[in-house]
Structure 1
Amino acid sequence: MELTKESLQNLRQEYRSAVLSEQDIDQNPVVQFKIWFQQALDAQLYEPNVMTLATATANGIPSARIVLLKGFDEQGFVFYTNYESHKGRELQENPRAALVFFWAELERQVRIEGEVSKVAPELSTEYFHSRPHGSQIGAMVSPQSQVIKSRDELENHIVILKEKYADQVVPRPDHWGGYVVKPTSMEFWQGRPSRLHDRIRYKFVDGSWIIDRLAP
């Protein structure tokens, strides 16, 4: 297909795979997320833990990128990164974030908004040492989001550290670890025909979750 203004405007998909009703959902959004996530796993989707992470500066200038969900429970949704990265600096200024999961094959989307804090250091260390050796070295080497002279600079440093830690435990860098997004709002979106999609939102108010249906 040749890309034209008309071809772009006419790109559309009719969603028909499922419905989402208030009667069928769990009263706890984390439990509902677990149900949907398990269904994404059962459908063998490619990396269902891929999520968009949106952050903002203290002045409200937003940025977004793809990261991987590495755990979730009633306390929140966990991902790991360089604390000195672009997103890390923004979270230091403004500890709030939004997450988006999009599972196209299931015609589903989940949006999460909440407050962000660092996970306990021992949890970061435990996860760090569960990663492949190369990923551990990479976390030590990369000054994430900073300007570097060339890729050769990174790769030369990797060679040095691989030799240094060939028979040793790689220490977790102080600048690397986990964040947890504690949700204050979660929205479950199910594609429906004619763009009349189902949208169910959970909002945390005065210690409990309030459930509403939103217009598509």
Structure 2
Amino acid sequence: MIKNLVHHKDNIVTISETMNCLDAIEILEQHSLRNAPVVDATNTLYRGNIYRYHIYKYKFHHPDADLAQVKVTQFLKNTTRVVHENDSFYQLIFAIRDLPFIAVLDKENVFTGVIQHDVMINYLAQAWVADKSGYVLAIQTRGEKGELNKLARLVNRKADIQSAVTFEKTTYDTSTYLMVTLPEYLDVSSVRALVNDLTRRKYDVNVVTL
């Protein structure tokens, strides 16, 4: 599935592992890039990421250094932070985390391109039908057997569920809950009736109007 989110390597800026830092920084600045993937001379093997920050930091601490004599391989980062085309979206989320993009490899470990962080977020927004949703209900759950089916039936009595996702307890002192998005055509009275019904059944519900 994540293969559909890939920006192919022929359509992005890459840095050759044979390049020096002066040439690399010129390319990054020219394209206003924070970082870029570093590849081998054949453009098939992913070596890691090169960041402008690390080159500038090195120059700051070594003002007399000639960047034309420093290879980009000295500053490679994220060398093992990759996903494969056949990986699940679940794997992508936890692999990309704080990266601006993540490298994508095929089953032969050949570099095929990158998935950008903002593309992943845009995909989530579309998958959750955010642009056509009017309300989000966050329903705190109790962990009872069959509870999700029960809640889905209760919500469906009043409205169509456009998307749903569950959250478990975390170390951030958050509760378990079910988050459902409801269509924008629902009127306020219908949403209020649904919330009242859930509240009568001892569920804590937070409503967000989009």
Q: What is the TM-score when the length of structure 2 is the normalising length?
A: 0.24
Higher strand share: 1
Q: What is the TM-score when the length of structure 1 is the normalising length?
A: 0.24
Which has the larger Rg?
2
